[in-house]
């Protein structure tokens, strides 16, 4: 069954090399890109923690929005190597960029709160307990905004490489941490959502 332990080690070799090509044609990929872009444009964050950053999918967007500080964290050094190639030149010149190996459950490399945290295509790949830990950590290090994707169902159901999370439990976790759900955008009809949290 889906687990953060397995998800932390599987994005290597061919899975890393073919990551972008395998996904760029997906409708879900396109909707995520458009929605994350719209949400970030509305806020214009000055600093972003993107975890997991993967192959650096949103680096171009961060450059276009003139984000001044970008911290990208991923457990896979191979994914990070691909991300490093995507750092736009303008960003190298005008922004502080750090791409580092790390764990979404403990952001040791974040010493001050960041304006915004982005977490796309991750919470549906880890078990419930890990999802809660990652959420707590994001809500701790983010100052104003969190943009995330998750897969919801009426209850937590772990499958071989995806999980649906209990939407009620998720919402109560958010509420207890004094964050609010600003927007929920369903993606396709399979439970995936792009969620914007604020405080």
Ligand X SMILES: C[S@@+](CC[C@H](N)C(=O)[O-])C[C@H]1O[C@@H](n2cnc3c(N)ncnc32)[C@H](O)[C@@H]1O
Site string (23-42) toward ligand X, x via CB under 6 A: --------------------
Q: Please report the DSSP string for the chain in residue order.
A: ---HHHHHH-S-HHHHHTHHHHHTT-HHHHHHHHHHHHHHHHH--SEEEESS-TTTTTHHHHHHTT-SEEEEEES-HHHHHHHHHT--HHHHHHSEEEEEE-BTTB-TT--S-EEEEEE-S-GGGS-HHHHHHHHHHHHHHEEEEEEEEEEEESS-EE-SS-EEEEHHHHHHHHHHTT-EEEEEEEETTTTEEEEEEE-
Q: Would you say 81 or 172 has its CB closer to ligand X?
A: 81
Based on the shown chain and the rule CB under 6 A, indicate whether residue 8 belongs to the binding site for ligand X. yes
Based on the shown chain and the rule CB under 6 A, indicate whether residue 191 belongs to the binding site for ligand X. no
Based on the shown chain and the rule CB under 6 A, indicate whether residue 7 belongs to the binding site for ligand X. yes
Site string (56-95) toward ligand X, x via CB under 6 A: -x---------------xxxx--x----------------
Site string (132-161) toward ligand X, x via CB under 6 A: ------------------------------
Q: Which of 51, 42, 69, 29 is nearest to 108 (CA)?
A: 51
Other Cβ atoms within 10 Å of 160 Cβ, number: 8
Among 51, 63, 82, 117, binds ligand X (CB under 6 A): 51
Q: Would you say 17 or 168 has its CB closer to ligand X?
A: 17
> Please, is 92 exposed, middle or buried when counting C-beta atoms within 10 Å of its C-beta (0-12, 13-18, 19+)?
exposed
Among 120, 131, 148, 187, binds ligand X (CB under 6 A): 120
Q: Would you say 23 or 172 has its CB closer to ligand X?
A: 23
Among 62, 122, 152, 170, binds ligand X (CB under 6 A): 122
Based on the shown chain and the rule CB under 6 A, indicate whether residue 167 belongs to the binding site for ligand X. no
Q: Would you say 98 or 172 has its CB closer to ligand X?
A: 98
- Report the nearest approach of ligand X to the CB of residue 104 (Å): 4
Residues that bind ligand X (CB under 6 A): 4, 7-8, 11, 51-52, 54, 57, 73-76, 79, 103-104, 120-122
């Amino acid at each position: 069954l889906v687990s953060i332990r397995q998800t932390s080690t599987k994005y290597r070799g061919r899975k890393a090399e073919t990551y972008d090509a395998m996904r760029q044609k997906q409708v879900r990929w396109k909707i995520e890109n458009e929605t994350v872009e719209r949400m970030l444009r509305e806020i214009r964050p000055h600093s972003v923690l993107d975890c997991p950053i993967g192959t650096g999918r949103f680096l171009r967007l961060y450059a276009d929005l003139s984000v001044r500080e970008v911290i990208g964290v991923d457990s896979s050094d191979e994914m990070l190597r691909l991300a490093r190639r995507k750092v736009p030149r303008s960003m190298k010149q005008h922004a502080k960029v750090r791409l580092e190996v790390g764990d979404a459950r403990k952001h040791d490399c974040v010493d001050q709160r960041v304006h915004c945290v982005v977490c796309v295509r991750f919470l549906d790949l880890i078990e419930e307990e890990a999802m809660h830990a990652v959420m707590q950590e994001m809500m701790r290090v983010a100052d104003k905004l969190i943009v995330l994707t998750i897969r919801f169902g009426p209850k937590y159901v772990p499958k071989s490489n995806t999980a649906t999370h209990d939407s009620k439990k998720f919402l109560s976790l958010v509420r207890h941490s004094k964050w609010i759900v600003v927007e929920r955008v369903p993606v396709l009809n399979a439970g995936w959502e792009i969620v914007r949290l604020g405080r």
